[in-house]
Structure 1
Amino acid sequence: MFVLAMFACLNSYAQETSVRGHVYGANGEAAPFAHVLLLQNEDSVMVKGVPTDSIGLFVMKNIPVGNYLLNVSQLGYEPYFRSLSISGTNELTLERIELTIMSQQLETVQVVGRKELFQLKSDRLIINVSSLPTFSGNNALQLLQKAPGVIVQENANSISLNNKGEVLIMINNRISRVPKANLIQQLKGMRAENIDRIELIHQPGAKYDADNAAGIIHIVMKENNAYGLNGSASFTAGMGQREKFNGSVDLNYRNNGLNIYGNASGFNNRSPKAEINHFREYDYQGDQFYYENSFKFVNPINNSLGFNLGVDFEIDKNSTIGGLFGYSKNTDLGKDFTSRSKGSVNAVPNTNSQYLLNIDNPNRNTIINLNYFRKIGTNGSLNIDVDRVTLDVQNSSELTYLDIEETKEKQQLIERQDLKLIP
């Protein structure tokens, strides 16, 4: 009961806000398809991104309380920045955003082959992951959480698009039929460095066999068409209040019709300490009630390790057979999480309790896939996939009741010892 109450209290604090605004360009005209990014104030890491619509309007939903930096950009205009503070209201409407035409045009223009972050088509919105370096270090699930219109509820194993219900996930033109719990673990093991783009398909055509889903999220991985053995490796590290690092290795061997590929990736993230205090004081039928709840989170750690190994073989120019084996492990560790509750009625104490919580939740996911593809005629095709997926979820929590008086006596003893050390 205590654990449920604690997380219920935490959810009450996770207030989220919708941010709405209107972007204008030259001569006061609306600026359609401008890029609007919400960045973390500390390190400019992207939190959410959306394009403006045909009349320059944008809406970013499910933004947590905090301080951010808003960035608006469009070709031919100076980048626009402003600080933004979210305090927990249901909706925040920003004042008119006016872009300024670039004051200086360069005589020589160097063309760089880099795609725009957002590309809007009639049936889909394309997010070019490789065009934004700050995506590095994220996994596929985190990218979806930042995508416009996508709502990820990890605890409920739910991914929806534009509040219209569940979506299908497609990876490299293959719809994933595995259970959502397994799929979410699989997405956690996919690094942003290996993803080329994400397509949010709002209106799936008949060819996708969408099964009446609200839409399709298509994740397209980077291709390696070079012959012989080749690969790449990356490693990043950072230090804020706590250290974090991640790395990945990709290898590929291609020779005639045979293609063998594999990748491995991992990350470790130590979150900062956090403390939440909740106070309630009210009068009821002549009595005065007071309650106080406090939660302290010390040294929470999240880490992940995963790899994939696959092979494709071209039987002929129209037929391909292949297989894939994947494994991933995600672990949430929490040590010395404490909760304390105190209460009184008419200044007379009636509640005083304290608990210690340790968490160790490793989740392991494996997937085996066999597939066959054959092109039939000009527009037809046959695609057969056989999947076997296993998911091992462990929720290990150790809850200890702490005696308040005994803890107080130990604290007083420590304080007296500290005082003796002061000259």
Structure 2
Amino acid sequence: MRDVLVLGAGMAGVGAALHLQSRGWTVALVDRSAPGSETSYGNAGIIQGEAVEPYAMPRDLATLFAIALGRSNDVHYDVRALPHHVGPLLRYWWHSSPRRHRRASEVYAGLIAHATAEHDALIGEAGAANLVDRGGFRILYRTARAMDAAAAAAERLRARYGVRSQPLSAATLSALEPALKVTGEGAIHQLDAWSIRDPGRLVAAYAGLFRRRGGSLVRGEAETLTRTATGWAVRSADGPVEASAAVVALGPWSPELLRRFGYAFPMVRKRGYHRHWRSGRGLNLPLMDAANGYVMAPMVQGTRITTGAEFAAPEAGGMPVQLLRAEAAARELVDLGAPRENTPWIGTRPCMPDMLPVVGEAPRHRGLWLHFGHGHQGFTLGPTTGRLLAEMMSGTPPFVAPLPLRPGRY
């Protein structure tokens, strides 16, 4: 019998569960929380069809000095927490060399090419089209030099990968986004992306589709995963749940669970924040303020501001330095109004040092499959790599080569 426990009900877990289900597996989707209420809830809500190159670690001295001195809002760190991060970050640095990054980008682009199509099928079946805007998003540049560099980079991506974008003058941007008080030197409109007005609700809609197809949503604790004589089991509120296979799709919590089984995955954990504001006249599409390292996105809850990467101790409390800076910069652009929440949301992006997700069977445990480490693009790629995982588990030809994503590379 082909039955499986999928641990984690974020976009990666739900995407895998749906694809396994469509291939005849009996699937129990296990999480301690409701689907889409953890990391998949807290992003900028963009399905990034343009993100063909993963985020490399900066290697130029000017950018590194800006980060080290706290002058960049893209990255913030607590110096006391660096011992927790130095090992994975050194490997991230090594993989960010131009040659290695090009190699990773070839694999990444092959996945990203399928992202919107995989979502499109699920959006239609889940009845979630009301959450989706297919008009892309925009990146605002405050100086002519930055705008010229961005236009050149966009042309390179068009020539190499076919990524569609459009440069917008300041006047055109103002006409498209009347809420903007300042339009800088213009923007690059990324045309291959879709925006979602409530990311958590989209994951919940996919989970609803999974349940309507006959799947089981189980409230349980993934850390209780144990090996049995016939497969794998976890404890739930209603007792043990067993299956012949298990999928670990726990995002930033995956390495901790797998350490119990003798695996050491050197994950780069980048914390991020968001908060909503009761803006009056909001934006039509998400807008990234490139100079200040944040994204403003129109959401059901209001205008959401999401931040860049923070490196903190694993259990450290919130340090919303980046969010405060982003709010100040955003108020120069729009009338934000008052915040909706008393405190910001905090989540962690699960990034692997080679910038590629982990997809495949655990090297030393038959029936234990891994599906995590999507970095900044778990929301974008969950259904795509979920399809790849389901094909591998079902013994059907995979639609992309899985070898670069194999868990054994670590």
TM-score category (smaller protein): under 0.3
TM-score, length basis structure 1: 0.22
TM-score, length basis structure 2: 0.22
Structure with higher Rg: it is: 1
Structure with bigger helix share is 2
Higher relative contact order (CA 8 A, sep 6+): 2
Structure with bigger strand share is 1
